[in-house]
């Protein structure tokens, strides 16, 4: 059998098999726990554009291998330029690139535009654990400063800011969120680069020392989801994990009422009823704070 025909058929099978696998594959996106459907829509558009290009190139290769396979007495034609083909390729490439980039601009606009009714929480990353801060009854987070971070004040809150006295501080425990309520997540790091990532939320963001980054989402499914650090942050990177618990509003409020505020924990520390602001502060975090390694 002609070798060119065999290679051409193999290439055709690769193209057909890729398309079939795409539609029949059991490995697809998990049910979303957030409202990022438009991100998936953008990914699907990208798949369609790149998929069509992939199949077209494979089939073109198959045609060329079959049509122009070596034969005795046949010589290749040397044609260094083809203006018509160059214009077609330039035009089609431009359309494809615009088709992939334009939806991304719209999605990014939605990604960074936080609804006015969104509540605010803060996630603090450090080697190698997660900490969380909720506003108190006033609904406003107090100010913080890296220079205030100490063994007794690992969040670095300003003790003279009245807005921070009722802030609820969580370390060594889960992040709780109410169902169907948009939330703006403020992100900051105390030492090195981290990345707050919950795969089911279809969103993540880097945490840069000295900066406050953010993203927002709306939890739409009750459940417990794992938090990962998606940025290599040191030898304990693999263990920098946690959990976010999405629950009904009533259960969330009940849990929130049981958590101590910054003022309560500070009072315990001053009165000697608590060793530190958070008794489960990891040894690595304590060493980091004592060395003054925060940014």
What does the pLDDT look like over 67-109, one tens digit per residue?
Answer: 777 777 777 777 788 888 889 889 988 988 888 888 888 888 8
Mean pLDDT computed over 22-46: 75
Whole-number CA gyration radius for the chain: 27
Listed residue (230, 215, 254) closest to 34, CA to CA: 215
What distance in Å separates the CA atoms of residue 174 and residue 179, rounded to the nearest whole number? 15
**Domain residue ranges in the chain:** 3-69+83-112, 119-291
Residue 230 has pLDDT above 60, yes or no: yes
Class of domain 119-291: mainly beta
pLDDT at 31: 62
Mean pLDDT computed over 215-242: 89
Other C-beta atoms lying within 10 Å of the C-beta of residue 38: 14
Name the pTM for this structure: 0.69
Q: Where are the beta strands (DSSP E) in 119-265?
A: 119-126, 129-134, 168-171, 175-178, 183-189, 194-198, 203-207, 213-217, 223-229, 241-247
pLDDT at 1: 54
pLDDT at 276: 43
Torsion of the alpha carbons at 146, 149, 155 and 159, rounded to the nearest 10: -100
pLDDT at 40: 79
pLDDT at 186: 93
What distance in Å separates the CA atoms of residue 122 and residue 188, rounded to the nearest whole number? 8
pLDDT at 234: 87
What distance in Å separates the CA atoms of residue 27 and residue 15, rounded to the nearest whole number? 19
- Ramachandran quadrant class, 223 (left: phi over 0; alpha: psi -120 to 50; beta: rest): left
State percent of the chain over pLDDT 90. Answer: 15
What distance in Å separates the CA atoms of residue 65 and residue 8, rounded to the nearest whole number? 6
Residue 189 has pLDDT above 80, yes or no: yes
């Amino acid at each position: 059998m002609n070798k060119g025909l065999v290679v051409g058929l193999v290439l055709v099978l690769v193209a057909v098999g890729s398309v079939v696998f795409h539609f029949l594959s059991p490995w697809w996106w998990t049910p979303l726990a957030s409202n990022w459907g438009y991100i998936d829509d953008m990914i699907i558009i990208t798949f369609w554009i790149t998929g069509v290009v992939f199949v077209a190139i494979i089939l073109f290769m198959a045609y060329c291998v079959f049509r122009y396979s070596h034969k005795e007495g046949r010589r290749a034609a040397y044609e260094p330029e083809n203006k018509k083909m160059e214009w077609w390729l330039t035009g089609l490439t431009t359309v494809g690139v615009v088709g992939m980039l334009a939806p991304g601009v719209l999605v990014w606009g939605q990604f960074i535009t936080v609804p006015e009714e969104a509540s605010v929480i803060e996630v603090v990353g450090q080697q190698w654990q997660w900490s969380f801060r909720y506003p108190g009854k006033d609904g406003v987070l107090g100010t913080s400063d890296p220079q205030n971070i100490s063994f007794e004040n690992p969040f670095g809150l300003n003790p003279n800011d009245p807005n921070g006295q009722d802030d609820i501080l969580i370390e060594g425990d889960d992040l709780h969120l109410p169902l169907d309520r948009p939330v703006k997540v403020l992100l900051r790091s105390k030492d090195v680069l981290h990345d707050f990532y919950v795969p089911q939320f279809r969103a993540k963001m880097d945490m840069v020392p000295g900066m406050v980054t953010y993203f927002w989402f709306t939890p739409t499914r009750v459940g417990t989801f794992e938090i990962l650090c998606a940025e290599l942050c040191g030898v304990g990177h693999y263990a920098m994990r946690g959990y976010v618990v999405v629950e009904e509003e009533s259960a969330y409020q009940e849990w929130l009422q049981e958590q101590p505020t910054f003022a309560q924990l500070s009072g315990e520390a001053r009165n000697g009823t608590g060793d530190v602001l958070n008794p489960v502060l990891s040894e690595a975090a304590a060493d980091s704070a004592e060395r003054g390694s925060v940014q």
